[in-house]
Chain A
Amino acid sequence: MTAWLDALIQGVLLGGLYALFAAGLSLIFGVMRLVNLAHGDLIVLAAFVILVVADRLGLDPFVAVLIALPILFLVGFALQHVLLNRTLGGDLLPPLLVTFGLSIIIQNGLLQIFSADSQRLRVGAMETASIPLGGGIAVGVVPLLTLLSAIAVIVFLNLIFYRTAIGRAFRATSDDLEVAQLMGIDHRRIFAMAMGLAFVVIAIAALYLGLRANFDPSIGPARLLYAFEAVIIGGLGSFWGTLVGGIVLGLAQTIGAQIDPEWQILAGHLAFLAVLAIRPRGLFPRAQD
């Protein structure tokens, strides 16, 4: 019985990590209708950036990520401005294939630089610290922080999108690109800003990816799939929906693992396919898309 309760709690906490993965993807798709096949690899790239900053400057990862944030914002801005803006324009194929190519380049570039060794972001005692809830169940500090950060990120994104001028610009551009231009919005700059913002979210996701588990250059694609599944389960167009989607996915995985540890990932995929079959628009879809 406690094993199942534990699986539930771990599932919710894991969902926080998946929600972080998904939030960046959802943001980019929401604003510019771009699905970035390199998303997972960018999270891994960000994790390596944090690792390097932490190692070189002898810093705690939480501090290192603060330093990495502006760097990664600029990287995202530049990536969109220089490369990805050229792929947007109605045709489906270019953004898909360019980001796919990017995915391969990033994976192999990281492999060249860092080798295939597993890495980890170290925080000393916090890694194994946990808060006991009684009855033999404990909640890990890092997983809890992950979930809380996911909630904070989503609150932050909603604030930007719904309470600021640039958020209005994001939503307007997403609604109607042509008319947004008639408002004086330079859509290429807006897209670059959105990508920069997405990279900030990616950086935070990368922090918790690296804290919770080992990472290496090859794990990107799997993270993309989880991010994508969380977005679809939650429903396109809603950040809170993405949190729910992440949690549903996390629960599916931990419950599957409870039945048989080898079934963890498969259970997640099957849950996704089930949602797709039964409620193709997700659990909390927005009106228009």
Chain B
Amino acid sequence: MERGATGPARSFRIETAGRGARAAAACACIILPALALLPAVAGRNLIQELIFLFYMLALAQCWNLLAGYAGLISVGQQAFVGLGGYVLFALTLLGGINPLLAIPLAGLVSAMFALPTALIVFRLRGAYFAIGTWVVAEVYRLVFAQFKPLGGGTGTSLTPSITSSVPGIEWVRTLLDVRAPAARDVISYWVALALAAGTLALVYVILRSRRGLALGAIRDQEAAAAGLGVDIYRIKLAVYVATSAMTGMIGALIYLQKARISPDAAFSVLDWTAYVIFITVIGGIGTMEGPVIGAIIFYLMQRYLADFGAWYLILLGTLGILVMLSAPKGLWGLVSERFELTFFPTRRRLVAKDEDCHRA
């Protein structure tokens, strides 16, 4: 680019954290312990609502990684929510395994199912890929509806012996002086918090790694990324399997907490895909902060508007369309462009050392 003239030698360094990120890191150090200690003061209702917020946030982070970064727009992730739930039920009811242990096992099984699923579904592109994932989810639903040991089409419940075998219930009972069902909710709350934080952390680590740089490139310009030697297929496969595993674990937690499962609920497009997509799109797809914002907004909307039934869903659909058309980067996109903020610093910035200029 230089035209013959030589300038002073410059050294460059790559920076990721900005001022917003440092503030956010500080906040996280405060927020996380505060959330962990919350059960000491919060009522059971709030705990249950926060469980919902945390697992929806975790699901949204997974979907965002899949669709916003890897470009795999799936409307079939409910397959793994349901699979995770059913695996938990199978392991505990039929296999006698401890419920908390069953959660990571459910993630493992989900990964095992995700691999062959991907090999078939990856033959489709774009919107056809999306519908293909939906078909797969339907297949899972129909198969589990035939599985009589877990209740077939009507589903089944966890027995009291299982729900009371969740480790730590006694400890929480005595510590917080609550009854057993509330104690179980507190344990679920901590697991949900751990899953949400863990998902955020895992997504953050992935995006900051070299693979993450590749994902950012895929997100921005897939063809160019391929031209630079990024192995698109393998990365997409890895992301699909990883997010499906996480989704499976989240599904296991969800149904441990609900203690009752049925095929229609576990594989519901509305609950596990439509709402998740809404959260991610409203908040801001392709960023980590977006789903956080979106989850909070969605939680508030669910809390105050869900009673309006069909009208509420019409509102959600309309809002989603409006945001997609007028603010495709979501609410966080509007904010972060205006104020140049980032809380989860995953973008690399090239900083030239001898000049005081920063280019994001």
Q: Let me know if chains A and B touch directly in the complex, using CB atoms closer than 8 Å.
A: yes
Q: Which residues of A does B touch, CB under 8 Å?
A: 34-35, 37, 83, 86-87, 91-98, 100-105, 107-109, 111-112, 221, 224-225, 228-229, 232, 262-263, 265-266, 269-270, 272-273, 276-277, 280
SS of B interface (majority): helix
Which residues of chain A come closer than 8 Å to B233, judged between CB atoms? none
Are A269 and B135 in contact, with the CB atoms below 8 A?
yes
Contacts of B126 in A (CB 8 A): 35, 92
Given known contacts A102-B317, A277-B120, is B135 in contact with A229 (CB within 8 Å)?
yes
Contact code string B254-282 (vs A, CB < 8 Å = 1, else 0): 00000000000000011000100100010
With A86-B325, A97-B320, A100-B75 known to touch, is A105 a contact of B131 (CB < 8 Å)?
Answer: no
> Chain A: which residue is nearest B141 at the CB level?
A266
Contact B321 A35 (CB under 8 A): no
Residues of A within 8 A of B71 (CB): 92
- In the complex, given contacts A91-B328, A100-B277, what are 16 additional A-B residue pairs having Cβ atoms less than 8 angstroms apart? A35-B126, A87-B325, A92-B71, A96-B73, A97-B277, A98-B320, A101-B316, A104-B316, A112-B310, A229-B135, A232-B124, A262-B145, A265-B138, A265-B142, A269-B139, A276-B121
A93, B67: Cβ atoms closer than 8 Å: yes
Q: Which residues of B contact A270 (CB under 8 A)?
A: 139
What size tier do the contact residues of chain B reach? 35 or more
| A239 to B90 Cα, complex, angstroms | 45
B317 touching A104 by the CB < 8 A rule? yes
Asked if A96 contacts B127 (CB within 8 A), the reply is yes
Interface pair A108/B67, CB less than 8 Å apart? no
Is A262's CB under 8 angstroms from B314's CB? Answer: no
Chain B nearest CB from A266 CB (Å) reads 4
Q: Is the CB of A94 within 8 A of B324?
A: yes
Q: Closest Cβ of chain A: how far from B353's Cβ, in Å? A: 37
Complex Cα gap A102–B146 (Å): 32
Q: Is B285 close to A, CB under 8 A?
A: yes
Known pairs A96-B130, A276-B120; A105 contacts B138 (CB<8 A) = no
Residues from chain B with Cβ under 8 Å of A96 in the complex: 73, 127, 130
The docked-state distance in angstroms from the alpha carbon of A139 to that of B281 is 49
The answer to whether A94 and B142 touch across the interface, beta carbons within 8 angstroms, is no
B311-A112 in contact (CB<8A): yes
What's the Cα separation between A280 and B274 when bound, in Å?
A: 28
Chain A residue at minimum C-beta to C-beta distance from B134 = A225
